[in-house]
Structure 1
Amino acid sequence: MASLDLQSLTRRFGTTRAVDGVSFSVPSGAFLALLGPSGCGKTTLLRLIAGLDRPDGGQIRIGGQPVAGPGGFVPPEARGLGMVFQSYALWPHMTVAGNIRFGLRLRRLSRADEAARIAESLAMVGLSGMEARRPHELSGGQRQRVALARSLATRPALLLLDEPLANLDAHLRGVMLAEFRRIHAALGTTFVFVTHDQDEAMAVASHVAVMNAGRLEQLAAPETLYRQPATPMVARFVGGGRTVPVDVLDQSGSTCRIRVQGQVLAVPGLAPRGPGWLCLRPRDLVPVADGPILARVLDSQFRGGGWSVSALLDEGADTLVDLTLPHAPQRGQALALRLAGGWVLPREGVALKTSPESIPA
């Protein structure tokens, strides 16, 4: 197991900052997901951690030891880590056992120890008895497990996974997510998992780092990201939240008094007095006869046993909210809504919040 610490890490390609001053720390044994839209810098960040690329500035420490920064650069093979690629990177002419043995050769183990490691890693991923097969004889999920077994056989302190489920169908993705959770719990190895799929990240990770345009927007536990987003980008990206402009009248503890549509409401949040955003998700709005928030139905679709409704706030020409109704509404139908949740955050100048108190050590 190894902790991971990044300080002001930067990587430039020409005038583009693919990684722009990223700093965070996660403890030993964490399952960290690097999450964000395509082009946000998460894969570049993973390559920097792996030692496949050199930073232009900042420092990386693995297990407390500097591996990149002003003091020097440690090559990938000396960082004590394993890596599972999106493409699996299996040698097609080698057997399953041969692929795993290839990753062990630098360890200079005896043949008996090599055989024991191969058997142990295949048992860990549920592929015992398949040592003699070649990659073309395996399903996509099995090839993914071989790639994972190859990394686990080296007993890395840190395991990096670069979009490892991108080539699998929905069912196999679910199976492999469960396997990642099981293996992580069994080994306690620190995992770093890159994905653009928030459902994957929220399902497996103890820590989720949301990235956007090379910057770290927020690092927190999955529930904190969903319930207490630190920035408008996180509010909109995680869980498909909507952000409604409001005036924050005052804040007391973790509650804000806000004005929206001329109504003063008390809502959870950490925003100072001034312009703010109210993050709302479908479960946060409930239709009632005398609700303080007024909206009109714009569109509806039947999903998951209910009607997913998009509505336009009466006093917000471009402000949409989402909610779920048991019956199909009419387009243009007026709705009176009450708040059953929500979170208030500042409109501008949001400071990064890592919410360390909500993250398990």
Structure 2
Amino acid sequence: MRSLITMILLGCFAVMLCSEPTHVAGKDKDKAKDKEKDKDKKPAPLMPPVINPAIAKIDFTVTGLDGPGFAIAAGESGTIVVGCENGTLQAYKKEAVAAFRAGTAKPDVWKGHDGPVRVAVWTGGPTLVSAGADKKVNFWSLPDGKKAQTATVDFRVLAGAMSKDGKIFAVGGESESIQLFDVATGKPTAKLTDKMDWTLALAFSADGKQMLSGDYLGVVRLWDVGGKKIAELPAKPVPAPKTPPDPVSTTSVAFGPDGKTAFIGTADGPIQVVNLGDGKIARTLVGHTGPVTGMIFHPTGTLLATVSKDRTVKLWNPAAAPPLKSLDGHTAWIEGVAFIDENTKLATVSADQTIKIWDLAEPPKKK
């Protein structure tokens, strides 16, 4: 009997010994599979940078422009092109802009104008257009910077704009007309004419079907790109005042993100927001103390950046006032502004012969 019990116990013990390694082996296999899965896992992607005007600050300064900078353009490739007073355009490829931190980069210099370059516009396509006091309109191929076409107008150019799709370029200045060009061919198309003073500002609507123009006498016109004037903004008061105030020049214009408003920068600083439907002033953004020389909306539509002869950059909530942030650093008036680096930074160009890069985003975060 004892021997029988002993045999049974020994048998059970043997079964336990045999079954244990199988259980452990199963666990080891699971661990091995988990390790293989971990190997296949990619690092957590970085969250898109978050634009935060409250933390906006100077990132770095690019020096050495050939004279005051009058215009700035930037595209998706990261290249920045600046139009200068001496008739040249200076192109800074993305790598060159970054290398300025180390003081080792030099721009490519494009020559093609015989006077100050007042306009340099580019919407990220294969062509950049420049124009200036020499009455020339130059079409440059990118990224090589070769001059593809040259056209001429019969007036000194003071303003220009390109449609978002890069197909139409408009130019105005010391004339009663605005000339449109086909960007692909460099040929003139429609001409917008009216009894107007010098054109100081131009802008296209998002769909490229309408334009805004602002002139020296402060009149803003809404156009159909086919050549028809739709309205003058803001609507004139009725009845007209007995003693009209001195006109205040319109120095910059832009369509609002909703496509239903016009943002009008003036020579005395305030920015009027006008409803396109009825021509009435909806609100006024007060902050600049000098002519508003440029304005640009962030693609999200939640941020407006403006520059001025008061030497400041101002960041706004387009739906409210006062400005969210004022950025100082330029020592002369600012002429141009553009978003760069996936719209996380601002680039501004000034008569102080510098380009300043402003950081608008918080550091990237992992998911």
> What TM-score do the two structures reach when normalised by structure 2?
0.28
> What TM-score do the two structures reach when normalised by structure 1?
0.28
* Greater helix fraction, Structure 1 or Structure 2: 1
User: Whose radius of gyration is greater, 1 or 2?
Assistant: 2
